[in-house]
Amino acid sequence: MPQHKDRVVLAYSGGLDTSVAIGWIGEQTGMEVVTVAVDLGQGGEDLETVRQRALDCGAVEAYVADARDEFASEYCMPQLQSGGLYMDAYPLISAISRPAIVKHLVTAAREFGATVVAHGCTGKGNDQVRFENGITSLAPDLKCLAPVRDLAMTREFSINYANKHNLPIETTHHNPFSIDQNVWGRAIETGFLEDIWNGPTKDVYNYTDDPTYPPLPDEVVITFEKGIPVAIDGNAVSPLQAIQEMNRRAGAQGIGRIDIVEDRLVGIKSREIYEAPGAMALHVAHKELENVTLDREQARFKRTVSDRWSDLVYEGQWFSPLKRSLDCFIRDTQEYVSGDIRMVMHGGRATVTGRRSESSLYDFNLATYDEGDSYNQSNAKGFIEIFGLTSQLAAARDVKFGKGEAMGKSKLG
């Protein structure tokens, strides 16, 4: 059996740039190209069409994977449980998709005997870091190649190359935006959006309808088990189905539109438009259920963990030791995050109107001011004296040395 040439695995979208990269990588490196296309719920063409195009463009093998359920369960749900929103704004739509793709790139490299993994990222963005850190974390022996960055493969070059070689790919349609999307959301950048004074136009959005003219309010009850949505309005759902259903319903109400100037890992500020209707609606519900079920100090510390978790994932450290350690803490916090959240979605907002949980820490008899109050208010006096003692001592010292803001003589002074 003849031995094949050295092989490179290419993350393949089916679009112009990665289709051109198949032949271009072969010409520049002499290696055979194996493409990898992963369906994360981004819509568009079916996998078989994408697979055949890769072969028609010169790939020796074309690996395809329907990873929608895997992505929803193993990436979107941990992100939801973490509660982390990068810059307190958006749910890491692209950042969580890269490690999902990386796992399949490494799987394909092993299956087809490749020694190099290639991606279509530029040298300006975060994704080059996410892909390459992920690949070398899972397979330190593999090398990475970025043809757009490393082989000077410009957009103009891609169009000319595709026309010259009669590649089966559309080259005349011009989309003014750079778009990355999956079932968890959609990220839009470049074009006129790079002028941060320009407001987004209607054609920017696809997952959400204009919240200015919403349909009637939509009330939904989401049931969680250990931080995972398991039913919507009493109907059992998988993680993927939960996201899809909330994308549809929250999207119809214009929920989840985010316009932000964010800090990229490479030091550049970038204007991004995101739309994540299902993700943001689920985040609202999940956070409120945590308010009911998490201990005060646990919830306070989790905010710190969530921020660090988000930064790590944004920076391409999904497979890092610290990320794994934080995952353990987050999973532990979700032990009692079970119950129902009722929300009304309308005009771009998801508003929680009801909560119930068997594992709730809310005690009606302690909280009520009416008959049935079981709280002993006389305990408060001693608590306040002890709780304020350190501040009282510090204030007395300030008075002693003529500093501070004490208005009168301290009892301790």
Q: Was 178 annotated as part of a binding site?
A: yes
Name the residue among 95, 96, 91 with its Cα closest to residue 80: 91
Stated length of the chain: 413
The C-alpha angle with vertex 104 and arms to 43 and 236, in degrees rounded to 5, equals 55
Q: Was 14 annotated as part of a binding site?
A: yes
Q: Was 375 annotated as part of a binding site?
A: no
Q: Was 66 annotated as part of a binding site?
A: no
- Pair of tokens at residue 263: 């800090």
Q: Where are the beta strands (DSSP E) in 200-256?
A: 218-225, 228-232, 235-236
Q: Was 367 annotated as part of a binding site?
A: no
Q: Was 151 annotated as part of a binding site?
A: no
141, burial (CB in 10 Å: exposed 0-12, middle 13-18, buried 19+): exposed
Indicate which residues carry an active-site annotation. Answer: 17, 98, 127, 178
Measured distance CA(282)–CA(264) in Å, rounded = 25
As beta bridge partners, residue 89 has none
Q: Was 15 annotated as part of a binding site?
A: yes
Q: Was 306 annotated as part of a binding site?
A: no
The neighbour count for residue 212, using CB atoms within 10 Å, is: 8
Q: Was 16 annotated as part of a binding site?
A: yes
Q: Was 274 annotated as part of a binding site?
A: yes
Q: Was 11 annotated as part of a binding site?
A: yes
Q: Was 19 annotated as part of a binding site?
A: yes
Question: Given the structure tokens 């969530």, which residue do they identify?
Answer: 306
Name the residue among 152, 146, 105, 95 with its Cα closest to residue 274: 95
323, burial (CB in 10 Å: exposed 0-12, middle 13-18, buried 19+): middle
Tell me the C-alpha to C-alpha distance, in Å, between residue 66 and each of 42, 100, 200: 11, 11, 32
How many Cα atoms are found within 13 Å in the side-chain-facing hemisphere of 31?
Answer: 20
Q: Was 371 annotated as part of a binding site?
A: no
Residue stretches of the annotated binding site = 11-19, 90, 120, 122, 126-127, 130, 178, 262, 274
Residue stretches of the annotated binding site for L-aspartate = 122, 126-127
Residue stretches of the annotated binding site for L-citrulline = 90, 126, 130, 178, 262, 274
Residue stretches of the annotated binding site for ATP = 11-19, 120
